[in-house]
Structure 1
Amino acid sequence: MHASLFHLLPTNTATLSTNPEKRTRRRLGLSEFDDNGEKQTDPRAVTARGGGGGGGGEEQRPWGSQEPFLMQDSRTVLRTDAGAMRVLRSIGGRIIQKPMHIGFIQMEPRSLLIPQYLDSSLLLFDRRGEARLGFICKDELATRDLKPGDVFWIPAGTAFYLENLEEGQRLQIITSIDPSESLGLGLFQSFFIGGGTYPRTVLGGFDPDVLSTALNTSREVVREMLSRQQQGPIVYLTEAAPSVWTKFLQSKEQDRLNHLKRMVEFNRELKKEGKKAAAWSWRKMLSSVFGEENKKKDDCDDSYNLYNKPHDFENRYGWSIALQGSEYNPLKHSGTGVYLVNLTAGSMMAPHVNPTATEYGIVLRGSGRIQIVTPNGSLALDAKVNEGDVFCVPRYFAFCQIASRTGPFEFFGFTTSARENRPQFLVGAHSILHEFLGPQLAAGFGLSEQALRQIIDNQREGVILPTPEVAPPEPMEEQGEDKPKVMMVV
């Protein structure tokens, strides 16, 4: 979520691990850092079978390998005393409908992610803690208080800040990162509105005389303004020694608005003086904030709480929720959907296909098993997953999720379409097999219609099924594997 946050400049590269093995771990680890701030390694291996031709036996692949359906390229893009952020790079290839990075932000109590704007859109999900989000909408400063379960969209180019309001609670945010509007300078790029020596504000690159003229102040004042901030993109807000950002949040709303808008006003001053702007235009980058796109007051949307949404499907074995653009208008603009699934111990989300979207999933609680099947009918992935694991299922690929027998399995995620997805279930009541049951389907299997009916009618449940026989017997931690938690539920 910020300039050197996502694509660190050379002055900030100390915060980014140069160890390629650590960077390719797929575990997130905001709560997996050791005492030195480094991510702990994970010696486990995942069993993956199948492949291109449908042949091949079982093969042990280390977690760090480039398993195509498990997002593994994990990078610590930001770490300060007040917080950290890790990002998983989207997997590539032609089978991925829409690349999407997944970010995890953790902020200590009473901390601030300082004002900035990005070249990529964010869809925030408040996993834990309460936060205050400030952002510019229609030339006005708007604020939203976020609580666990809230979803909020920040378009590319929108100036914002994020504050952890809690005194004794860490804030944990999961966010999708859509790079479709990015400048192509790396994962994505953020531009700090405020800053000093670390991080550097976008104003700091201009000639001191130009900047002092635009701000109508002396060079000494400008030099002081651009050299005080040294705490990084996430800073503590303390009463004892208030920082410049503590003072910012304590200032009047109009003063905060003026500060966030000063950059755009400065760009206008440059044009009046005939100065050439950079190759990119600040005004264009902030068009969603200051331009003609926001003409209605109701463009300043509220958040949507996913936990308060009625379950779209529910039976004895679990429930599921899907949030689409028809229910939360910002999703129409983002082109991204959101979902949440909870499976009881030993149950399964029946094998199904997403016909309109690629699915990105993050395990929030418990452990389970993910199976993904290739178009030629071979098993592409059969993996046990725990909290913090992230998987990607390309559009059209058949897959299922299975909870372990010892507890619930909960996962949240994003889809690459804000339209109603209508997953097509392959087995179970009201599935494709059930609806196609007849001589044509029987001929396809080489069975008599009666024999096929006896097989299909055995399953009376639909969507979420009881499956104790194939569920993992126990979480991996109980099998003697010392694996730290990520995004832990307290």
Structure 2
Amino acid sequence: GFDHTTLSTALNVSTAEVRTFLTRQSSGPIVHISDSHHHTNIWTEFVSQQPHQKLAHLKRIVNLEEEVTPKEEESTWSLRKFLCTLLHRKDVVKRVNHEAPSSYNLNNRNPDFKNNYGWSKTVDESDYSPLQRSGNGVYLVNLSQGSMMAPHVNPRAIEYGVVLKGTGRIQIVYPNGTLAMNARVREGDVFWVPRYFPFCQIASSNGPLEFFGFTTSARRNHPQFLVGRNSLMQSLRGPEFAAAFGISEKRLNRIANAQREQVILPSSSSDSPMRMNIGSY
């Protein structure tokens, strides 16, 4: 999957600790959990549920409940016209008996997320109604020098991106955990990420990386971050998850808590909090 340097930065631990963490478990896909009958948590309760209850629970986790929307009016708006509108062009054409909607200037929007290492903006149908017709969402991300958009998964949409400024790297992993792509990108490059494929974007050490793009859903995307303070790694902590990696639950908690940032993570050489000394297994 992700290379050890990327995981080291994402987890805020050393590459040696990442290597040990990933190679500690030598068993197959089914592992034994010592004294598992003494532990009761959300996941053991989940396993005991009926199939329809499991499905409803998973939908709540990833916010995939279908939203009821009225039938949309047929429209002949093209992607070119939509782009012109979004980018605040004045020469958007008028259809017969229809006038183009008001433009939306993405640059004037406040970031939806911002920290010392970058910011991101997203626009969906609740922000700009023409997106309901196109079926697309829009985003703009700026990563400071050496920073990383934490490894995450889009559960709802395919993502297309265009590098506007700077250089960096895009890493994409297959759902089975093997590496799909690890490519350098620069201004003008285009990339796309299939739905459910874990990926991350990393700015080079030479300067910031800025990219703009579309998703194939006009609804709020709710990306699932795998690492960081608000990640799935935090939600899955427990004896089962620790056993999957062949480490103690205490050790797992220390690793999970080593990264104090979320969404956009600092580089390993930045002025972020010092890497935690995880100690022995």
TM range (shorter): 0.5 to 0.7
Confirm whether residue 429 of structure 1 aligns to residue 226 of structure 2.
Answer: no
Which residue of 161, 172, 192 corresponds with 1:361?
A: 161
Q: Secondary structure at the match of 1:433?
A: helix
Aligned to 2:266: 466
Larger fraction in helix: 2
Which residue of 383, 386, 394 corresponds with 2:194?
A: 394
Structure 1 spans left out of the alignment, 5+ residues: 1-48, 50-117, 143-299, 471-490
Deviation string, structure 1 residues 423-475 (Cα, Å, up to 9, x no partner): 000001010001211112112222110011111111000100012469xxxxx
Aligned residue pair count: 196
Task: Say if 1:331 and 1:126 are closer, same or farther in 2 by CA, change over 3 A.
Answer: closer
* CA shift for structure 1 position 131: 4.1
Aligned to 1:310: 110
Corresponding letter in the other structure for 1:361: G
Q: Distance in 2 between matches of 1:314 and 1:468?
A: 19
Task: Say if 1:308 and 1:315 are closer, same or farther in 2 by CA, change over 3 A.
Answer: same
Deviation string, structure 1 residues 236-271 (Cα, Å, up to 9, x no partner): xxxxxxxxxxxxxxxxxxxxxxxxxxxxxxxxxxxx
Corresponding letter in the other structure for 1:445: F
Which residue of 448, 453, 457 corresponds with 2:257?
A: 457
Q: Distance in 1 between matches of 2:84 and 2:243?
A: 47
Task: Say if 1:125 and 1:317 are closer, same or farther in 2 by CA, change over 3 A.
Answer: farther
Larger fraction in strand: 1
Aligned to 1:138: 97
Q: Which has the higher contact order (CA 8 A, sep 6+)?
A: 2
Q: Secondary structure at the match of 1:124?
A: helix
Deviation string, structure 1 residues 173-223 (Cα, Å, up to 9, x no partner): xxxxxxxxxxxxxxxxxxxxxxxxxxxxxxxxxxxxxxxxxxxxxxxxxxx
TM-score where L is the length of structure 2: 0.65
Does the Cα contact within 8 Å between 2:151 and 2:198 map onto a contact in 1?
yes
Describe how 1:207-222 pairs up with structure 2 within 5 A: none
Corresponding letter in the other structure for 2:92: L
Deviation string, structure 1 residues 132-190 (Cα, Å, up to 9, x no partner): 22222525xx4xxxxxxxxxxxxxxxxxxxxxxxxxxxxxxxxxxxxxxxxxxxxxxxx
Q: Distance in 2 between matches of 1:128 and 1:366?
A: 21
Q: Distance in 2 between matches of 1:397 and 1:409?
A: 21
Aligned to 1:373: 173
Q: Distance in 2 between matches of 1:372 and 1:469?
A: 23
Structure 2 spans left out of the alignment, 5+ residues: 4-75, 271-281
Aligned to 1:416: 216
Describe how 1:59-458 pairs up with structure 2 within 5 A: 121-122=79-80, 123-124=82-83, 131-138=90-97, 142=99, 300-458=100-258
Identity across matched positions, percent: 56
* CA shift for structure 1 position 125: 5.4
Corresponding letter in the other structure for 1:397: F
Q: Secondary structure at the match of 1:452?
A: helix
Aligned to 1:188: none
Q: Distance in 1 between matches of 2:224 and 2:108?
A: 26
Q: Distance in 2 between matches of 1:385 and 1:416?
A: 22
Q: Distance in 2 between matches of 1:469 and 1:327?
A: 37
Corresponding letter in the other structure for 1:309: R
Deviation string, structure 1 residues 278-331 (Cα, Å, up to 9, x no partner): xxxxxxxxxxxxxxxxxxxxxx42111111111110000000011000111111
Corresponding letter in the other structure for 2:97: K
Q: Secondary structure at the match of 2:169?
A: strand
Quick check: which has more Rg, 1 or 2? 1
Corresponding letter in the other structure for 1:132: D
Task: Say if 1:409 and 1:395 are closer, same or farther in 2 by CA, change over 3 A.
Answer: same
Corresponding letter in the other structure for 1:314: K
Q: Secondary structure at the match of 1:453?
A: helix
Q: Secondary structure at the match of 1:457?
A: helix
Corresponding letter in the other structure for 1:434: Q
TM-score where L is the length of structure 1: 0.38
Corresponding letter in the other structure for 2:118: G
> What CA RMSD, in Å, does the superposition of the two structures yield over aligned residues?
2.4
